[in-house]
Amino acid sequence: MSTFRIDTKGVPGKMDSLARLRKKLTEGADLLDQYVSELNSEELSGIRSVLRKLSKKLQTDAEAVKKLETGLEEAAGKYMILENRLRTPKPAGENPAYDEEGNCGGSQLSPMAFYRGEDGEIRQGIQSIIRSYYPGLDDRGTEKLLADLELEGCGYVALANTLFGQYAGREEQFLKVFGFPMYAGTGELNFELLVTDLYCSKDKRWKTGTTREEREEIWEDYLEEKGIPVDVRTVEVTAENYEELSWEGELIVGINPCILFDSDGKKVVETEGGHAMTITGMTDDGMFKVSSWGMEYYIMPDDPAYERIQFQQVCY
């Protein structure tokens, strides 16, 4: 592991907020354009002119937010890729997706970061998977797909995190089942390929995000097609029953809004909307350790700030 570290824990939350802001600005501009097209009479020409100016201003603001989002994404992505390259997989027997050596699950930001990065094994793998599902998709369409994955891919990543422990020590079987290696040539788990494949296979392009029920259907269907039996069930998780449940299968939590803490209980992320994560452990004072954006965070399950907190268990 490297001897340096940059504090990137707050970056994904900020990127999520920027993406949502950009979406609202774009939707606002589109709505104003619709109003302009509907105001046909000559008497309303002044109003049309004002609406056009407002629409153009919103579009300009959306482009500015996109530039900021892209710059932040590229800087954080390059750093996270560098960190990942310095990690080594954990010995077989436990889930190598997250451990005390710095591995802490996958990230929905990684596929785009690798796609925009230098041409290499992982980037080529991502391209190959996307083209197998969307043969005619050009570079612009591919970036749009990966941008959508960034925005709504947390549930897909949480599900994918649970799989690698099942194939620890059975890497050849993983290759036969999924069509790509469990580990990249650099020694990193192929999170990006698995998440991209799952997303392309099961995402409904007309909607955003996944519910608890949809995640159950997505994962069970995806693995059934590959001959892997799995049961994704709804459970209630507490400090008292966590240890017993964790022996039966990996746990996923969905929260709304997304409020995450560091190990000292300091709030480091607070964004609107729901977020799904894999639970990786529990502290002595009742906080759940979670994997999100490839990093370790914590949630306080009894915090009244959560409007919704739901749990699932993935049993293989």
Identity of the residue numbered 122: I
Per-residue pLDDT band at 3 (split at 50, 70, 90) = very low
Mean pLDDT of 150-163: 96
For residue 287, give both structure tokens. 């906080």
Question: Residue 87 pLDDT > 50, yes or no?
Answer: no
Q: How confident is the model at residue 86 (pLDDT cuts 50, 70, 90)?
A: very low
pLDDT at 1: 32
Tell me the longest C-alpha to C-alpha distance in the chain.
75
Q: Say whether pLDDT at 213 is over 80.
A: yes
* Higher pLDDT, residue 123 or 16: 123
Q: DSSP string covering 10-73, please? A: THHHHHHHHHHHHHHHHHHHHHHHHHHHH--SGGGHHHHHHHHHHHHHHHHHHHHHHHHHHHHH
pLDDT reported for residue 143 = 95
Write down the pLDDT at residue 68.
80
CATH architecture of the domain formed by 231-315: Roll (2.30)
State the pLDDT at residue 267. Answer: 94
Higher pLDDT pick, 287 / 63: 287
Cβ pair 259, 303 in contact under 8 A: yes
**How large a percentage of the chain has pLDDT more than 70?**
88
pLDDT of residue 110 exceeding 60, the answer is yes
Q: Which of 49-63, 112-126, 241-255 has the least mean pLDDT?
A: 49-63
Residue 270 has pLDDT above 90, yes or no: yes
Give the least confident one: 52-56, 71-75, 204-208: 71-75
- Please, are residues 215 and 276 in contact by the beta-carbon 8 Å criterion? yes
**What is the C-alpha to C-alpha distance for residues 202 and 199, in angstroms, rounded to an integer?**
5
% of the chain at pLDDT higher than 90: 60
Does position 85 have pLDDT exceeding 50, yes or no? no
pLDDT tens profile 4-48? 455 566 667 777 787 888 888 888 888 878 877 877 767 667 787
| 141 has pLDDT over 80 | yes
Q: What is the mean pLDDT of residues 144-166?
A: 95
Angle of the 154-161 helix axis to the 212-224 helix axis, nearest 10: 50
In this prediction, residue 47 carries a pLDDT of: 81
Out of 95-109, 132-146, 239-253, pick the least confident: 95-109
Least confident span in 46-50, 83-87, 243-247, 278-282: 83-87
Instruction: Give the residue, 213 or 5, on which the prediction is more confident.
Output: 213
Average pLDDT, the chain: 86
pLDDT of res. 90:
35
Does pLDDT of 306 surpass 90? yes
Among 52, 35, 193, 41, CA closest to 110: 193
